[in-house]
C-alpha cells in the first residue's frame, strides 16, 4: 500500500486489510528476530508506520469527521498505540523510541477528529510523556515536538487537559459543558462524535467519564509539566524554544477552569519559580555592576534563536545572565498571556520563592559588593518585568502595603524599603547610584501604589504649607505677597504671569556668573521642553485609571503643620541635592534624574511641593526650590574664593562634552556640580512649563 494519492487511484484496495498487514509486519519483526542490534532505520518498521499513518489520514478524508473509520477503530480497539509505546520504551530495535515519538506526533497533527479524550489514546500518550525528559536522552528534538503537538491539541480542546495529566482519581476536573455531551451510557464524548444513540458508534472504543478523569493534583512521577520544564533546560536552543512555546500554549488557554486547574492542581507555578531561583543562584558573585547595568533587554524568543546567540554580549558571567533574564522574560510573558487567576498564582510563587526566599537576604547582607551586585541585578530585573501581576508582587516586596503617612522615626514597618532608601545615601557612591537607578526604574512602572507609597501619602493633607503669610522658610516665605498682586488681575493675565514667573524662577535660579551653556553649545532649553513633554505624555497614559484629583485639596486647620514629614524617600533626595556641589558627577546625574521623574507626574500636590517656588512653607519645612536656593547661596560664597572661576567652569563643561582634553583643574567636584545644577534648573523649568495646560499643547510642536 502506498501513499494516499496511490490509494485514490486504486479504490479496490481494502484499507483495513492493508492497515492490519502493516501492523502484523511490525509485530512479526519481533517474533522472527531476536538479539539483533540493527538500528530501526535499517528495518521496514519506519516505512510501515508511515503507511499506517497515510491510511488513517486517507480514511478520515473519505469518511469525514462525523464517523470513525474501521482502521481507526482497529487501532483503538487493539490498543496499537499502547503497544507502540511499550516497544518505544524497550528501545528495540535501537532508535524505536524516536520512531514512536514521530508517529504519535504525526497522528495527533494529521488526524483532525478529537482523540485525546479516548482512553486508548490518552493512556499511551501519558505513558509516552513519562518517557520524555529523561537524563541523557538522545531524542530531545522528537520529544519537544511531541510535547508541542500535545499542547497544541490541548489548546484546541482545553477539556482534554484532564486526560493528559496523571490519573490519581482527583475530584477536580475541567468542565466539559461547552465541549461534550452525555451519551446514554454516561460516557463523556465530544458533541461531534458518534454517541451510543448513533449506530455508527456501536463499536466505538471506550470513552472516559469525567468522574474518572485523570488527576490534576501533583503527580508523584514526571508528567506533562515536569517534562516541559525539563526540556526548557536543554542545551539545544531549538529544543528549549519548543518547550517554551509549549508552556505558552498551555498557560494562554483562556478558559477559567483550565487556569484554575493549572494554578491550583499542578506543580506548574512552583516548578517555574524554582527554575528562576536555580538560574539566579548560578549567577557569579563576581559580576561587574557596569556589565549588569549595560545588559540589554533580553527577549526569550530571541535568546534561543541563532541570531540572538550570535549577538550575545560577552563578559565573565554573560551566559549565566542571558539564561536568567531570558527565563525571567519568559515568565513575564507567560503572566501577560495567562488568565488572571494563573498569572497571579505564578507571580505570588515567584514572590515567595525568589524575591523573599533568595533576593531579600542578598539585598540586606553586610557585604558592600554583595549588596551592589544584587541591587544591580534587581534593577535589571525590574526593567524586564512588565506583567501587571508581577509588578504588583514587586511593589509589595519592595515597598509594602502601608497607606498611612510616614513617621520620621519609623524604620521597622518595612525593613527592606527603609534599607533601600537609606542605600540611596550610602557611603559607597556605587551603591547609592545603583539604588537610585533602581527607584528610577520602579517609577517607570504603571502602578499607582509606587508613587503613593514613596511620596504622595505624605503630601495628602498639604501640611507643608502654612495657614498664614507669616512663618515658613526664611528664604522664600516673603514671596507669598505675589499672590496679593495676582488677585487683582484677570484670570487670563494671572495664568500668563504665573507661567512666566514659574518659568523664570527655575531658569534664572543659577546666577549669571555660574552659567556656561551660553559659552559652549550644549543642551538647549527647547530640548528639555521636548523631552519633558514626552515624559509627561507617558506619565499621563499611566494614570488614566488612577483617579488622581484635578486640583489642590483644601488645607485642614485640624491638621498640624508640625506633623509634616516629607517621607524617607524625598528626605534622602533633598539631602543629596543639597550636597550637589560636593558629590561625584555620576551620582549627581542620577539624583537629578530621579527628581525630574518625580516632578513630571501631574499630581497637584506633588506639582505644588516640587515645582511651585512661591508656596508659603510651614515652619521647618523644606521644598525642592528652597533646597536649591540654599545650594545657590552656598555656591555664591564659594565662587568668591576660587580664582578664574568662570574660565575653569567653561573648561570643565568643554571637557564633559569631549571638546577639551583632561587637565588637572582643582575644585572639580564643585565645578561639575555647578554645571549639573544649571542643567537641572533648565530641566525643572521645562517640566513646569509643559505641565501647564496651555503650554502642554504648545510643547507638542
φ/ψ region of 429 (left if φ > 0, alpha if ψ in -120 to 50, else beta) reads alpha
- Residues in the chain with pLDDT values less than 50: 1, 3-12, 167-173, 175-221, 469-486, 697-699, 701
Instruction: Kindly report the backbone phi and psi dihedral angles of residue 498, in degrees, each rounded to the nearest multiple of 5, phi listed first.
Output: -60, -40
Instruction: Kindly report the backbone phi and psi dihedral angles of residue 520, in degrees, each rounded to the nearest multiple of 5, phi listed first.
Output: -130, 130
Cell matching residue 326? 531570558
In contact, 133 and 227? CB cutoff 8 Å: yes
Within its chain, how far is the Cα of 157 from the centroid?
A: 28
pLDDT number for residue 542: 83
pLDDT number for residue 665: 80
pLDDT number for residue 526: 82
Within its chain, how far is the Cα of 104 from the centroid?
A: 35
In contact, 686 and 525? CB cutoff 8 Å: yes
Within its chain, how far is the Cα of 576 from the centroid?
A: 31
Where exactly are the structural domains of the chain?
Answer: 12-166+220-232+240-249, 400-696
pLDDT number for residue 136: 87
In contact, 398 and 450? CB cutoff 8 Å: no
Q: Rg (Cα) of the chain, in Å, rounded?
A: 34
pLDDT number for residue 493: 59
Q: Give 512-559 pLDDT, tens digit per residue.
A: 889 888 777 666 778 889 999 999 998 888 888 888 998 898 877 666
Please provide the DSSP assignment of 212-258 as one string: GPPP-SPPSS--HHHHHHHHTT-SSHHHHHHHHHHHHHHHT---HHH
Q: Which residues pair with 316 in a beta bridge?
A: none
In contact, 507 and 687? CB cutoff 8 Å: no
Residues in Cβ contact with 578 at an 8 Å cutoff, skipping those fewer than 6 apart: 627, 630, 631
pLDDT number for residue 495: 57
pLDDT number for residue 687: 93
pLDDT number for residue 188: 33
pTM for this prediction: 0.85
pLDDT number for residue 478: 37
| Residue 655 CB neighbour total at 10 angstroms | 18
Gap between the Cα atoms of 508 and 678, Å rounded: 9
Cell matching residue 506? 527655575
pLDDT number for residue 172: 41
Q: Is the peptide bond before 93 cis (omega within 30 degrees of 0)?
A: yes
Q: Give 69-95 pLDDT, tens digit per residue.
A: 999 999 999 999 999 999 999 999 999
* CA triple 134-118-65, angle to 5 deg: 120
The enclosing H or E element of 468 equals none
pLDDT number for residue 78: 96
Amino acid at each position: 500500500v502506498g501513499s494516499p494519492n496511490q490509494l485514490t487511484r486504486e479504490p479496490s484496495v481494502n484499507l483495513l486489510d492493508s492497515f492490519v498487514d502493516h501492523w502484523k509486519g511490525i509485530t512479526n519483526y519481533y517474533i522472527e528476530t531476536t538479539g539483533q542490534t540493527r538500528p530501526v532505520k535499517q528495518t521496514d518498521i519506519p516505512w510501515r508506520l508511515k503507511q499506517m499513518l497515510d491510511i488513517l489520514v486517507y480514511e478520515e478524508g473519505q469518511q469525514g469527521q462525523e464517523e470513525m473509520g474501521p482502521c481507526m477503530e482497529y487501532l483503538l480497539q487493539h490498543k496499537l498505540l499502547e503497544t507502540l509505546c511499550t516497544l518505544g520504551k524497550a528501545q528495540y530495535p535501537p532508535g524505536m523510541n524516536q520512531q514512536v515519538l514521530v508517529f504519535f506526533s504525526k497522528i495527533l497533527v494529521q488526524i483532525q477528529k478529537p482523540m485525546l479524550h479516548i482512553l486508548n489514546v490518552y493512556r499511551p500518550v501519558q505513558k509516552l510523556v513519562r518517557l520524555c525528559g529523561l537524563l541523557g536522552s538522545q531524542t530531545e528534538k522528537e520529544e519537544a515536538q511531541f510535547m508541542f503537538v500535545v499542547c497544541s491539541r490541548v489548546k484546541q480542546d482545553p477539556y482534554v487537559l484532564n486526560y493528559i495529566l496523571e490519573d490519581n482519581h482527583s475530584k477536580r476536573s475541567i468542565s466539559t459543558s461547552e465541549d461534550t455531551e452525555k451519551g446514554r451510557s454516561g460516557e463523556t464524548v465530544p458533541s461531534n462524535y458518534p454517541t451510543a444513540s448513533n449506530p455508527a458508534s456501536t463499536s466505538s472504543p471506550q470513552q472516559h467519564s469525567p468522574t474518572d478523569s485523570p488527576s490534576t493534583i501533583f503527580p508523584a512521577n514526571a508528567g506533562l509539566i515536569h517534562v516541559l520544564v525539563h526540556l526548557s533546560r536543554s542545551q539545544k536552543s531549538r529544543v528549549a524554544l519548543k518547550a517554551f512555546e509549549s508552556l505558552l500554549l498551555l498557560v494562554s488557554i483562556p478558559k477559567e477552569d483550565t487556569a484554575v486547574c493549572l494554578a491550583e492542581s499542578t506543580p506548574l507555578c512552583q516548578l517555574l519559580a524554582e527554575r528562576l531561583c536555580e538560574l539566579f543562584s548560578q549567577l557569579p558573585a563576581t559580576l561587574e555592576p557596569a556589565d549588569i547595568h549595560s545588559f540589554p533587554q533580553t527577549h526569550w524568543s530571541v535568546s534561543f534563536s541563532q541570531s540572538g546567540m550570535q549577538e550575545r554580549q560577552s563578559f565573565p558571567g554573560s551566559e549565566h545572565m542571558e539564561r536568567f533574564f531570558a527565563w525571567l522574560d519568559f515568565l513575564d510573558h507567560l503572566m501577560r498571556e495567562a488568565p488572571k487567576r494563573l498569572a497571579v498564582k505564578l507571580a505570588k510563587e515567584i514572590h515567595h520563592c525568589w524575591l523573599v526566599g533568595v533576593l531579600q537576604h542578598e539585598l540586606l547582607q553586610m557585604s558592600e559588593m554583595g549588596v551592589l551586585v544584587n541591587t544591580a541585578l534587581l534593577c535589571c530585573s525590574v526593567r524586564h518585568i512588565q506583567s501587571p501581576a508581577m509588578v504588583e508582587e514587586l511593589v509589595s516586596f519592595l515597598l509594602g502595603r502601608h497607606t498611612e503617612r510616614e513617621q520620621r522615626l519609623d524604620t521597622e514597618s518595612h525593613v527592606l524599603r527603609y534599607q533601600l532608601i537609606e542605600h540611596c545615601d550610602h557611603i559607597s557612591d556605587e551603591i547609592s547610584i545603583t539604588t537610585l537607578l533602581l527607584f528610577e526604574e520602579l517609577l517607570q512602572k504603571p502602578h499607582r501604589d509606587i508613587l503613593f507609597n514613596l511620596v504622595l501619602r505624605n503630601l495628602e493633607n498639604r501640611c507643608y504649607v502654612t495657614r498664614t503669610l507669616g512663618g515658613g522658610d526664611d528664604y522664600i516665605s516673603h514671596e507669598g505677597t505675589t499672590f496679593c498682586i495676582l488677585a487683582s488681575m484677570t484670570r487670563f493675565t494671572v495664568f500668563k504671569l504665573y507661567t512666566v514667573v514659574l518659568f523664570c524662577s527655575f531658569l534664572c535660579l543659577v546666577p549669571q556668573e555660574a552659567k556656561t551653556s551660553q559659552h559652549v553649545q550644549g543642551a538647549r532649553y527647547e530640548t528639555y521642553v521636548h523631552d519633558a513633554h514626552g515624559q509627561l505624555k507617558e506619565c499621563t497614559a499611566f494614570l488614566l485609571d488612577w483617579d488622581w484629583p484635578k486640583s489642590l485639596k483644601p488645607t485642614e486647620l485640624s491638621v498640624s503643620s508640625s506633623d509634616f514629614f516629607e517621607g524617607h524617600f524625598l528626605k534622602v533626595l533633598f539631602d543629596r541635592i543639597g550636597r550637589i556641589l560636593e558629590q561625584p558627577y555620576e551620582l549627581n546625574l542620577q539624583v537629578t534624574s530621579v527628581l525630574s521623574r518625580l516632578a513630571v507626574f501631574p499630581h497637584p500636590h506633588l506639582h505644588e511641593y516640587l515645582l511651585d517656588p512661591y508656596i508659603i512653607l510651614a515652619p521647618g519645612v523644606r521644598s525642592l526650590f528652597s533646597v536649591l536656593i540654599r545650594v545657590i547661596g552656598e555656591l555664591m560664597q564659594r565662587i568668591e574664593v576660587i580664582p578664574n572661576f568662570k574660565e575653569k567652569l567653561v573648561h570643565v563643561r568643554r571637557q564633559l562634552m569631549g571638546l577639551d582634553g583632561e587637565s588637572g583643574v582643582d575644585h572639580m567636584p564643585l565645578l561639575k556640580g555647578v554645571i549639573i545644577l544649571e542643567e537641572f534648573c533648565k530641566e525643572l523649568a521645562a517640566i513646569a512649563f509643559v505641565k501647564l495646560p496651555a503650554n502642554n499643547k504648545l510643547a507638542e510642536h
